[in-house]
Structure 1
Amino acid sequence: MTATDRLHPGLVHHIVNTLGWRTLRPLQAAAIEPILSGDDALLLAPTAGGKTEAAVFPALTAMADGNWTGISVLYLCPLRALLNNLHPRVAGYASWLGRTTGLWHGDTSATQRRRLRLERPDILLTTPESLEAMLVSTLTDPRQVFADLRIVIVDEVHAFAGDDRGWHLLAVVERLSRLAGRRIQRVGLSATVGNPEDLLRWLQGTNATHRPGAVIAPSAPPGPAPTIDVTLDYVGSVDNAATVIATMHRGEKRLAFCDSRAQVEQLALALRAKGVRTFVSHSSLAVDERRQAEQAFAEARDCVIVATATLELGVDVGDLDRVIQLDAPRTVASFLQRLGRTGRRPGTDRNTLFLATKQDTLLKAAGLLTLWRDGYVEPVTPPPRPRHIAAQQVLALCLQEGRIGGETWPSWYGDLAIFDHTALAIVEWLVESGHLDRDAGMLAIGPQTERRYGRRHFMELLTVFAAAPEFAVLHGRREVGSTDALVLTMKVDGPRVIVLGGRPWKVTHIDWNRQRCYVEATDLPGRSLWHGFLPPESWMLAQSQRRVLLGTEPDVNWSNRAVHTLAALRQQRASQTWADGSVVEAREDEHRWWTWAGRRANATIAATLPRAVVDGARLDDHMIRLRGDLTANELRQLVDAVDVGRLPAPDIDERAVAGLKFSDVLPPDLAVATLAERAADTAGAAAVLTAPLRWVSAP
């Protein structure tokens, strides 16, 4: 018996006759047995590797074989756009067996939601935030809605696990298990990660000690490996990047990634000025604007779509010829996702063209490509100490249940890692601060929670990711997207013009109370701007850039401009690197300690040696600013006195705690401690502090 023989005959018929597949892909075949056996599973494959079918086909077979009814399968995604993209495909597969699917997220209309409540689908596609909104809604009884739940499929699970949305997801799934009265099978879909076994155990949560789990990542089929064409070029500016894109690869469909919304808008505007048919996709565009752009791009040729990472996670924009990366993504894993967008047609290569707009980003791209060529992929590490998510979950459970037992609420979560020894202290603080009411041993939502989160049916309490408030941008009655208030308050000479969707818009009126901005089309130059910060570089990426300066070069195609720029960089920064350890570059006003350790490790070193660092200096990924009156002997004495087994957490400005979502429902000292522990890299700091140190004079 082959693996395919385990699938429902109706599915096999359509796989062969409707899809025209003669065989399943290795991942799809390998996933059938463990999923049908009820095991938890992590399915690993590159973009377009058939992961959705690998999970859905056996889930549909189990549904038919077990005669499941009601919502028996949940399909969770991190992005609404990905859900919109997947829904028609999953619905088509389900229809082969006479089963139904539903789509529920923030853009789902009230009419559609009423229909889903009355006629529950067999498979529900949603986000964790929308799922929790269903749990606490007064319009649904979660015990009825989720009574038949058997399987949860988590798409792009690595994207969840890397931030607090992952902890939130696990907590919601634990509550669903309690409501359904059974342990729910968990299936995660992921691109390649550096620690798949750890990611599987994390996904299993409290299932880990009760249900088998399997990482399913078949090796590539025999035959020649796909050709990969990666080119690194230095162009010096976004406008020069637009010139290169407009000139090269004409007639092809190109996807250009930028790592900020402002850079997306800048590049799109420059491309359109050069006559290139250009589309735009990022999170501040209105839903209809994004959908129209993505659909038009999917159906077009000889065009470019410029996007942030929103198009990295599997959204189908048709058959691509080329991926272009401005500057560099943050991780090798992200690069692999983007690279995997190409080479899907027989006879085509996987490819990415890097266009560095600055010398520093050329170095970063070279460092990242060095890691890639070394075969390195980052481990997915959930953020430590999610105490704020623990506080949020206690409040959300009170919303769901109305009242919960002050001693029994932990039973909803078992030994899930979001709750540590501080959990009881957090609940006591919530009571004392008025966020919870306690009566006869029962806990309920208190007046302070009502005041802070009660608007819009507590939606702000149910949304784990923090986003700066933005103004809706309207052209007539049509919403174009949203913009940061900062671009509306900056002083300007003449008309105020913003760029959104790759087009300039003149602001005609601002409704400050309703946070709306009215615009009309214009040809005047404008700008785009959003609040944000660059995430810290990892130890591995920072060290890889150091290796590049010391002579390592990734085996990719280099343009002459990139070769000459790197040579100049190596000459300029020769005093900042040393093969045997780190370097202190002595200057008159301050010294610079070139650790190449990443911002978290540098923050840990700064907290360890407060007498050595410049007070209040901004932290850097590559170096630490030291006092100008510090001598080499004094620094060595301070370093020698450090116990690297007991390094302190970085100092945290209490104002920074505001950036931690739900920090206001934690005791202030715990909020600061949580942020400090997340800002630390003790292993990287220890590596620098125990390595040789060279003291040189700045050139």
Structure 2
Amino acid sequence: MSAVDELEPALVHHIVNTLGWKGLRPLQEAAVVPLSGGKDALLLAPTAGGKTEAACFPLLSRMHRARWSGTSVLYLCPLKALLNNLLPRVGTYASWLGRSAALWHGDTASGTRKRILADRPDVLLTTPESLEAMLVSVNVDHASFFSGLRAVVVDEVHAFAGDDRGWHLLAVLERLQRVVGRPLQRVGLSATVGNPDELLTWLQGSGAGSRPAQVVAPHLDATRDAVSGALSASVPPGDIQLDYVGSLENAATVISTLHRGEKRLVFCESRRLVEELGSALRARGVNTFLSHASLSLDERRRAEAAFAEARDCVIVSTSTLELGIDVGDLDRVVQIDAPASVASFLQRIGRTGRRPGTSRNCLFLALDRAGLLSAVGLLLQWSRGWVEPVVAPPEPRHIVAQQVLALCLQEGGVGSNLWHEGWNGLGPFGSSAQPIVKHLVTEGYLDQDEGLLFIGPEAERRFGHRHFMNLTAVFTAPPQFTVLQGRTEIGRTDPSLLTEHITGPRRLLLAGRNWQVTYIDWNRKRCFVEPVEEGGKAKWSGAGFGQGASFRLVRAVREVLLGADPPVNLTRRAQGCLGEAREYFMKRVHPGGTLIVRERDRSGQLRWWTWAGHRANAALAATFDGVAVPGQRLNDHWVRLRDDLTPADWRLARKAVTDRLALPDIDEKAVKGLKFGDALPPRLAEATLSTRLADLESAAAVLDESVRFTGVGI
């Protein structure tokens, strides 16, 4: 019996006759049996590998045959835009079996929500935040609404697992499972990751080890190591070129002159760069569209729709278009400098080569030497088939505090000795979180009465606005001002642009256009603008704490400086810049260990060139607190040491450290930037951040290496 025979015949009929498919793709075929049998699964495939269908076809068939009723499948995504894009496809597949699908997220109209509650769809597409909002809402009878739930699909699961959204997702699923009263089949969809087995175990949550589970990755099975069983990424074929252009203006010139008549997607690593490059391309007569998180929803939709329908055009984006949002057939992907990870690069290059007869491609345009080295190091790791493991951030104590409050809001009251059962024994949400609950009671976030915990006045004050929206929105975004032209929202801008001292009119750059501010409503955080020809400025403050590049990527840069070359096409300009970089760093890299160098520039600083990454350097600077310069601004490549340090001093300091590694001190402003950090005891909030800002494993690896002094008179 083939895998297709396991699917419902009516569904197979439409696959062949409506979609016009001659057969299933490898992932889709391989997923049928495990999903039809109720296994938890992680489905891995490159971008455009048919993951949505691989999950939907067997689950819909199972739904039909087992006569599931009500909302029986949840489809969770990290982005509302991705949900909007998926609804027509998932709804069509469900309709072939007489079933329905609906969308519920923050932009869903109240009338639509009422219809969904009155007539439950078989498949509900939503985000974890909206799912939690349903659980705590007085307008949703969650026990009744979710009574028929059987399976949960988590799309782009790697995008969740690597940060706090992953902990939030797992915690909400455990609470939902208790509401339903049965285990839920969990299916994750992902591009290639470095640790698929661990990611699947993570997704299973409290069910890990007790439920059958399978990684489904036919494109990687041939590379499974016979001894360890681990999966490694095969390097996809493609046309990869790296150029050094030296400035954003030069990048705009290259993009405007190369590949005319084609559809190009350009990725930038910041919203500011998106705006500046978009403006520069339009000034050169290029049909240009923009996409980033601070543009209004309507602005992004108009840009994405126009881009999908156009031919000779460019869309400039941050990572918002990295995930599976369909913007039509692309001819080219261009990357400004380098993405933060190999995984991101795989997602981005996977946007191309989808049409028959085309191949995947990516043109890197480095704006400076640092951008060039980051790109070359990343491409070296990519060429080896290496992809970052997806690892959940440690010690999510602030998420524990948020979840305890959300559970009390959901249930109205929770037993003061039973609260930890709400997450079925899931790791950090168990009884070990007792000090956090005690603090919540002491500080008034929770009230305690007759053995029950209730939402307290402090939680009402801090999070109660608009039905506790601030409690279900887990992630902190810096305050921004809404920018309007008349009644039309254009997007949001950083308030510092509205307060900094300037001479002349105040002008903004937003949506790739220049605007002059005509009025600022400080109370409602709005500013009104009119279009102008030039002079606009773009700026956004970071929402988090930059942790720099990883140890493996920075070490790859060191390998490049020592002579390694990735198997990609470097232009003459890139080769020239790389040659100059190798010459400059010649005395700062060594294949046998790390170097302590007296810089011969004006600073004369003593630097320990660790090539270890920001987080490892943070741990090393804290560990050598009597040797490292206090309060220094850390980077990926070196740690500044005391200028009067001698080799003898270093040997004593190194001997004193032995294998003890310290965590970095945390600035008070950083703790305040941790959402729900105020709901934690101060020492636990600081411990949470310091643990996350240090890479102890990589720091220990650096300590195992020899250290040489150069340029210090010995």
The answer to whether TM tops 0.5 is yes
Structure 1 residue 667 corresponds to structure 2 residue 697: no
Matched AA of 1:439: D
* Correspondence for 2:628 among 613, 619, 624: 613
Deviation digits for residues 34-75 of structure 1 (CA, Å, limit 9, x no counterpart): 111111000000000000000011110111011111110000
Matched AA of 2:677: S
Match of 1:653?
A: 667
Shift of 1:696: 1.0
Shift of 1:125: 0.4
Going from structure 1 to structure 2, the CA distance change for 1:269 and 1:433 (only over 3 Å counts) comes to: same
Deviation digits for residues 646-693 of structure 1 (CA, Å, limit 9, x no counterpart): 322222122211222210111110000111111111111111112111
Matches within 5 A, 1:217-296: 217-219=217-219, 227-296=237-306
Structure 1: state its 5+ residue gaps.
none
* Correspondence for 1:330 among 329, 333, 340: 340
Contact map agreement 2:547 2:615 (CA 8 A) in 1: no
Report SS of the residue matched to 1:641.
helix
Match of 1:693?
A: 707
* Correspondence for 2:649 among 617, 634, 638: 634
Deviation digits for residues 170-222 of structure 1 (CA, Å, limit 9, x no counterpart): 01001111111100000000000000000000000011132101000003799
Deviation digits for residues 594-621 of structure 1 (CA, Å, limit 9, x no counterpart): 1000111111111111011111111111
Deviating more after overlay: 527-536 vs 11-20 = 527-536
Shift of 1:466: 1.6
Deviation digits for residues 332-351 of structure 1 (CA, Å, limit 9, x no counterpart): 00000001000111111100
Contact map agreement 1:147 1:180 (CA 8 A) in 2: yes
In structure 2, distance between residues paired with 1:137 and 1:589? 61
Matched AA of 1:286: S
Structure 1 residue 563 corresponds to structure 2 residue 575: yes
Deviation digits for residues 236-262 of structure 1 (CA, Å, limit 9, x no counterpart): 111100000000000000000001000
Matches within 5 A, 1:487-566: 487-532=497-542, 534-566=546-578
In structure 1, distance between residues paired with 2:359 and 2:522? 51
TM-score of the superposed pair, with normalisation by structure 2: 0.96
Matched AA of 2:644: D
Match of 1:357?
A: 367
In structure 2, distance between residues paired with 1:598 and 1:34? 40
In structure 2, distance between residues paired with 1:350 and 1:72? 38
Match of 1:207?
A: 207
In structure 2, distance between residues paired with 1:680 and 1:553? 30
Contact map agreement 2:102 2:116 (CA 8 A) in 1: yes
Matched AA of 2:523: N
Contact map agreement 2:547 2:693 (CA 8 A) in 1: no
Contact map agreement 1:26 1:221 (CA 8 A) in 2: no
Contact map agreement 1:155 1:189 (CA 8 A) in 2: yes
Deviation digits for residues 552-600 of structure 1 (CA, Å, limit 9, x no counterpart): 1111000100000111111112111111111111247531111000111
Shift of 1:454: 0.8
Going from structure 1 to structure 2, the CA distance change for 1:590 and 1:382 (only over 3 Å counts) comes to: same
In structure 2, distance between residues paired with 1:421 and 1:226? 46
Deviating more after overlay: 499-508 vs 532-541 = 532-541
Contact map agreement 2:243 2:570 (CA 8 A) in 1: yes
Matched AA of 1:97: L
**Percent same amino acid among aligned pairs?**
60
Match of 1:140?
A: 140
Structure 2: state its 5+ residue gaps.
223-233
In structure 2, distance between residues paired with 1:698 and 1:240? 40
Shift of 1:643: 2.6
Matched AA of 1:670: L
Shift of 1:120: 1.1
Structure 1 residue 413 corresponds to structure 2 residue 428: no
Report SS of the residue matched to 2:265.
strand
Deviation digits for residues 333-379 of structure 1 (CA, Å, limit 9, x no counterpart): 00000010001111111000000001101000000000001111000
Report SS of the residue matched to 2:533.
coil
Contact map agreement 2:238 2:360 (CA 8 A) in 1: yes
Structure 1 residue 58 corresponds to structure 2 residue 46: no
Match of 2:72?
A: 72
In structure 2, distance between residues paired with 1:96 and 1:291? 28
Contact map agreement 2:263 2:312 (CA 8 A) in 1: yes
Contact map agreement 2:593 2:707 (CA 8 A) in 1: yes
Match of 1:42?
A: 42
Matched AA of 2:418: T
In structure 1, distance between residues paired with 2:343 and 2:712? 36
Match of 1:110?
A: 110
* Correspondence for 2:698 among 667, 684, 687: 684
Deviation digits for residues 392-430 of structure 1 (CA, Å, limit 9, x no counterpart): 100000110110001112112122123266411110110
Contact map agreement 1:575 1:698 (CA 8 A) in 2: no
Report SS of the residue matched to 1:354.
strand
Match of 1:192?
A: 192
Matched AA of 2:680: L
Structure 1 residue 481 corresponds to structure 2 residue 491: yes
Contact map agreement 1:504 1:526 (CA 8 A) in 2: yes
In structure 2, distance between residues paired with 1:436 and 1:305? 48
Give the length in aligned residue pairs. 697
In structure 1, distance between residues paired with 2:334 and 2:188? 29
Shift of 1:534: 4.0
Structure 1 residue 124 corresponds to structure 2 residue 139: no
Matched AA of 2:463: Y
Deviation digits for residues 510-555 of structure 1 (CA, Å, limit 9, x no counterpart): 1000000111111022110000164421100110111111111111
Structure 1 residue 643 corresponds to structure 2 residue 653: no
Contact map agreement 1:167 1:418 (CA 8 A) in 2: no
Contact map agreement 2:619 2:694 (CA 8 A) in 1: yes
Report SS of the residue matched to 1:618.
coil
Matched AA of 1:29: E
Match of 1:183?
A: 183
Report SS of the residue matched to 1:541.
helix
Match of 1:173?
A: 173
Contact map agreement 1:226 1:349 (CA 8 A) in 2: no
Match of 1:579?
A: 591
Contact map agreement 1:385 1:418 (CA 8 A) in 2: yes
TM-score of the superposed pair, with normalisation by structure 1: 0.98
Matched AA of 2:399: I
